Structure 1
Amino acid sequence: MSLATMLAAGAAAYLLGSISGSLWLGKLRGVDIRTQGSGNAGGTNAFRTQGWAFALGTVLIDIGKGVAAVALMRWAGGDVLLQMLGALLAVAGHVWPVFHGFRGGKGAATLVGGLALLWPMALLPLLGVWFLVLLSTGYVGLATVLAGVALPLWALLEGRDSAWLGFAVAVAILLAWTHRANLQRLRAGNEHRFEKARVLARLWARPDA
C-alpha cells in the first residue's frame, strides 16, 4: 500500500466512524439524544431515551461502520496492522465525529464491528464477559469496560504476538477512557443501573425452596 493510499484509507475509516447512527436517525425523528438522558450519542442512551427500535438501528449502524472501516483497509491492501489502525480510526470517528461537532458516543459497538472482521474469535469471550457482568450488576458501562479488559487477557491466552497484544491493550484503555464518567458515577454510587437486566443477581438472591 502506498503512503497516499494509506492516508486516504485512514481518512475514510475516520469519516465512516463519524457517521453516528443515533444522530442521523435522530435527525429523521427530530431529536438530538445528546440533549437527553446521559447526553451520550451511543446505543445505551438511545435505548433509554428513544426505545428499543431506535437503539437497535443505532447499534446496527455503529457496528456496520466498524466492519466497513476494516474491510476498506483490507480492500486497499493494508496488512493486519493497518486494519487494526482502521478499526481504531473508526472508533475515533465515532467518539469525535467531524460531522457532529466532535461530540459522539463511546465506541463499543464500532469496536465490535471492527473485531467481527479483524478478530472474530475474540467476540465470544468479550460478549460473554459483557453479558455476565450486565446480568449480574445491571451496569452497562462496567460491563463494557470489563469486556475491554478481557481482550488483552484473551490475546495472552491465544498466544498472540506483541502487535495483537498492543492493539488489545489500546482497546481496553480506550474503552476505560470513554467510560470514565460511568466509572466515576459508579464510585460515587449514583451510576444508572438496568434493574431488569439483573437476572443473575435475582437468581442468586432467591432463597432456597
Structure 2
Amino acid sequence: MLPEFSFAIILSYLIGSISTAIIVCKVLKLPDPRTQGSNNPGATNVLRIGGKKAAAITLIGDGLKGALPVLAATYAGFDLVDATWIALAAFLGHVYPIFFGFKGGKGVATFLGALFALGFLIGVSFALIWIFVAKVLKISSLSALIATLLSPVFFFFLTENLNATYIIILISLWIFYTHRSNIKRMLSGAEGSIKS
C-alpha cells in the first residue's frame, strides 16, 4: 500500500495547509490574524481579534483538518501506525502550510482533532485535561502544553501500541517547539491569562 500511503500523507499535509483562521477572518472581514495580536493564525488569536464565534469556527475547522484525514485513512484500511503518520502530516501542514509561506499555527487544535479520530476516548482525555487546567490556572497555552505532555501516556494506555505512541511523542515535542515563545513568556510571568 506504499503508493496509497504516500498519496494519503501528501493529501493530509495539503488539507492541514488550509488555514482556517485566515479564511474565517477574511470571510468575516476581520484583520489578518498574522498581523494582529500574537500574529498566530490560530483559534486563540482569532478569539482576541474577532470574538467567540470566529474563534469557535476556527477551532472546529482546525480540528477537522486533523480528524478528517485520519478518519479517511482508517476507513481505507490503514492501521493505527499509518493513521498516526497521517495525523503528523496534517499537523505539519497546519504548522508549515504550503499555501501560506510555510508560516502557520501552533497545531494544538489539529492535533486534538487527530486524537479524536485515532480514538474518541483519547481525544476526550486531552480535552478534559485542557479544560480542567484552563479552569484552574487560567492560561490557555499552559493548559495546551500540559494536555500535550500527557497525551502520549493516555494514548499508549488506551491503544497499547508503542510504535504509534512514538509518533504521538514526536508531535507533542513539536508542539512544545511551536510554543517556545509562550514558554518564555510564562517563565517571565508575561503570558496572558484567559479572560472570564
**1:129 to partner: Cα distance:** 1.5
Bigger shift: residues 56-65 or 167-176:
167-176
The match for 1:19 is: 18
- Asked if the contact 1:95/1:102 (under 8 Å) is kept, the reply is yes
Structure 1 pair 25/117, CA: closer, same or farther in 2 (3 Å)?
Answer: same
2:180 aligned with 1:168: no
Structure 1 pair 156/57, CA: closer, same or farther in 2 (3 Å)?
Answer: closer
The match for 1:58 is: 58
**1:44 to partner: Cα distance:** 0.3
Percent identity for Structure 1 against Structure 2 = 32
Matches within 5 A, 1:111-190: 111-158=111-158, 160-190=160-190
The one-letter amino acid of 2:52's match is W
Cα deviation per residue 1:76-116 (whole Å; 9 max; x = unaligned)? 43221111011111010001111111111111111111111
- Asked if the contact 2:30/2:50 (under 8 Å) is kept, the reply is no
**Secondary structure of the equivalent of 2:144?**
helix
TM-score calculated relative to the size of structure 1? 0.87
Q: Which runs of 4+ in 1 moved over 3 A?
A: 155-159
Structure 1 pair 156/65, CA: closer, same or farther in 2 (3 Å)?
Answer: closer
- Asked if the contact 2:95/2:104 (under 8 Å) is kept, the reply is yes
Structure 1 pair 84/101, CA: closer, same or farther in 2 (3 Å)?
Answer: same
Cα deviation per residue 1:23-68 (whole Å; 9 max; x = unaligned)? 1122222531110000000000000111111111111111111111
The match for 1:43 is: 43
Instruction: Provide structure 2 residue ranges, at least 5 long, that are not aligned to the other structure.
Output: none
Structure 1 pair 158/118, CA: closer, same or farther in 2 (3 Å)?
Answer: closer
The match for 2:68 is: 68
Structure 1 pair 46/85, CA: closer, same or farther in 2 (3 Å)?
Answer: same
Structure 1 pair 156/79, CA: closer, same or farther in 2 (3 Å)?
Answer: closer
The one-letter amino acid of 1:48's match is R
- Asked if the contact 1:20/1:97 (under 8 Å) is kept, the reply is yes
What do you get for the CA RMSD once the two structures are aligned?
Answer: 1.6
Bigger shift: residues 170-179 or 72-81:
72-81
The one-letter amino acid of 1:136's match is V
Give the Cα–Cα distance (whole angstroms) in 2 for the partners of residues 170 and 75 of structure 1.
24
Larger of the two Rg values belongs to structure: 1
**1:159 to partner: Cα distance:** 7.0
Instruction: Provide structure 1 residue ranges, at least 5 long, that are not aligned to the other structure.
Output: 197-209
Number of positions where the alignment pairs a residue of Structure 1 with one of Structure 2: 195
Give the Cα–Cα distance (whole angstroms) in 2 for the partners of residues 45 and 182 of structure 1.
13
